[in-house]
Amino acid sequence: MEWDWAFVREIMPTLLDGLKITVLATVLGSALAAVVGLAFALLRRSPNRLVSRITAFLVEFIRGTPLLVQLYFLFYVLPGAGILLSPLTAGVIGLGVHYATYMAEVFRAGIDNTPRGQWEAAKACNLTAVQTWQHIILPQAIPPMIPALANYFVAMFKETPLLSAITVVELMSQARSVANFNYRYLEPMTLVGVLFLAISLIAVPALHLLERRFRRYR
């Protein structure tokens, strides 16, 4: 088993194409996860018991079932009900909604950590509920959550190979296809690992920088 640099050069463009899709799926998926996760967190706090119960059940249900099963449902089962999604769309939705259930917990904890006095001051300032969330609670609650959210971002990134199961041509599926075609696994799989590691190593400090920028008041 010998490392073949010529083979590396040959397959690199294909792998980088796959990496683009992987990064795209992660970025779109985490944006969706953040928005839906926040929505889950807010709905769970709804004074309407029915709304909060249904949300709690939905979150439990999504978190308690495997992502791979959810992806199969989105891509192979939903068309039976007339809902046709492209592989990438199904992948982003699956990844995003699955991780939203984890991010919802982070949001919930962050929101609960905002001192009660802030809610009371907002009320004394006669802000509406929406204004209180927008201007007082979320701007304070979100910066401390960024490290935890960054962990999920990296975890999502590393889960994207699952999308190859629903024919998304991301990094892992590109690597597998060049490997199968050439009967050489060493270089493609090593490169997949290296590329994932490289992106993770860049992403984590970048997200911490983001956190520090948001926390200017500390």
Of 50, 81, 183, 216, the one binding other proteins by CB under 8 A: 216
Length of the chain equals 218
* 117 in Cβ contact with 54 (< 8 Å): no
Within 10 angstroms of residue 15's Cβ, the number of other Cβ atoms is 22
Which one, 47 or 64, has the nearer CB to other proteins? 47
Please give the Cα distance from 81 to 83 (Å, whole number). Answer: 6
Asked if 89 is part of the footprint of other proteins (rule: CB under 8 A), the reply reads no
- Cβ 212 to other proteins, closest distance in Å? 14
Q: Which two tokens stand for residue 19?
A: 């990496």
Which one, 53 or 123, has the nearer CB to other proteins? 123
* 165 in Cβ contact with 211 (< 8 Å): no
Asked if 180 is part of the footprint of other proteins (rule: CB under 8 A), the reply reads no
Q: How far is CA 196 from the centre of its chain?
A: 15
Asked if 49 is part of the footprint of other proteins (rule: CB under 8 A), the reply reads no
Asked if 218 is part of the footprint of other proteins (rule: CB under 8 A), the reply reads yes
Binding-residue pattern over the window 113 to 142 for other proteins, x denoting contact by CB under 8 A: --x-xx-xx-xxxxxxx-x---xx--xx--
- Cβ 140 to other proteins, closest distance in Å? 5
Phi, psi of 86 (to 5 degrees): -70, 155
Which one, 121 or 194, has the nearer CB to other proteins? 121
- List the helix and strand counts (H, then E) for the chain: 9, 0
Binding site residues, other proteins, CB under 8 A: 115, 117-118, 120-121, 123-129, 131, 135-136, 139-140, 216-218
